[in-house]
A and B are shown apart, each in its own frame.
Chain A
């Protein structure tokens, strides 16, 4: 059931994007999220789309896999499109049937906004598909390091993040396992009236919660037993290294930004 979800999943491969420093990837994603809002006509949106496609092909993650994994999100994109289509009443009237009408501006806005939304999702998916959770948290901890000066618990935040990311697959597996066990005991998760299906969640959720609490306690004990005392004076096994490819990717993004500013209307 959850096999097709691609959020937070890592696809191992040897590509340029995989080998980039997680810090540069995080910075690029952050900047991308900002510059997406610069675009306001077909040319600039086209540039953004091309950039995203180039990134996907560089990451060597099969395109079809990304699309099939994003199917649930596509509904949201479609919803955005329809919302704009029906509610924006500016520009030339394109189509009318009774109370229902589509205006030129609505169509334009709808396409642009949903494209923007879709590109953002694609780019962030590339980040998680090509970067292991550990790398992401290491990069984030490093980037947020200056905040330590204002007593912001950067290390703890990074630890919390890596623990929760680490346990997503475990939790998924366990959900699958318990679902199967309860299915074998006659629970029907996938058909029947809504009322019964909601009821069927209880025998799934309670064991999941109980096991999660148990696991959290075991993890805490295991960490303390190995002398964990927070981030102070802690060295890193994985060293981050900023290379020429990271700099050039940032420059590439800079060029894109310049083009966007140049061509926007």
Chain B
């Protein structure tokens, strides 16, 4: 399912003394099957953009097209359920949304809201709990007896069980240990490829963005500052550093080598493997300057 934002503007609490412009003139295209990363500082409007992706917020100007649905400021929307089933959002700290007595019931909650039968929902719960790397025994436990990391995974399973076409992640790994972080990101990446999903990842981590995404949007003060493929974004790391954003370690390392030895690699490397190959071929080639 394609999603596109066209010149979207959003104001919080419009027409009160508390009015605040959150995003303006944001245009982003998310064709089916893309892995898009949205990067920016706290308060740059990333989370606001994300809530437009399944019509939780209605733009105050511009329009959002989700599949064949159009969401604009003045149109009253009915039947958003369909959109919400197709676009699953994993919010920041999703463990805060757990409420059922058992993990199984909580995972089934989403699908059953969208009219899936009990048996089908339970089948999906079994699949989803394995996808997030937990065992089936956990299904009968209370979600409030689990550890923080496990709760996070259960909440994610709850969204996966809705079987959305587009999955939107708001800093899904915040507050996890490095291993849990990698496991969860790898899982989303695997799912992305396996189910041919579109994935939108909102993150602080440049490493994650460069590793998994095939498109990156950088937000700054509520506007799109830059967009492109990771290679395009990271060819000018100085820009990003000026914004105070982190640049992946590999890119920084490559930059240092280039400075020290006065050479230029043929491409911007985004993974350690790529850079190693570049350096190896350089060394073998006898160091053309």
Residues of chain A whose beta carbon lies under 8 Å from any beta carbon of chain B: 3-4, 11, 61-62, 65, 68, 174, 177-178, 180-188, 202-203, 206-207, 210-211
Contact = CB atoms under 8 A, between A and B. Distances in A.
28 contacts: A3-B16, A4-B16, A11-B17, A61-B17, A177-B91, A178-B96, A180-B51, A183-B56, A183-B84, A184-B89, A185-B84, A185-B97, A185-B109, A185-B113, A185-B158, A185-B159, A186-B113, A186-B162, A187-B113, A188-B81, A202-B99, A203-B97, A203-B99, A206-B99, A207-B97, A207-B98, A210-B99, A210-B144
B147 interface: no
Contacts of B97: 178, 181-182, 185, 203, 207
B54 interface: yes
B154 to A, nearest CB: 13
Q: Which 10 A-B pairs have the closest CB atoms?
A: A186-B113, A206-B99, A185-B110, A181-B97, A184-B89, A3-B13, A203-B99, A181-B91, A186-B114, A180-B56
B85 interface: yes
A202 B105 CA distance: 14
A186 B96 contact: no
Given A3-B13, A4-B16, A181 B99 contact: no
Interface residues on B, range: 20 to 34
Contacts of B162: 185-186
A261 to B, nearest CB: 37
Contacts, number: 63
B99 to A, nearest CB: 4
Interface in B87-146: 88-89, 91, 94, 96-99, 109-110, 113-114, 144
A17 B81 CA distance: 48
A226 B56 CA distance: 40
Contact of B99 (A61, A68, A207): A207
A177 to B, nearest CB: 7
Nearest to A205: B99
Given A65-B17, A186-B85, A206-B99, A181 B94 contact: yes
B198 to A, nearest CB: 16
A206 B144 CA distance: 11
Given A3-B13, A203-B109, A210-B144, A177 B51 contact: no
A227 B5 CA distance: 51
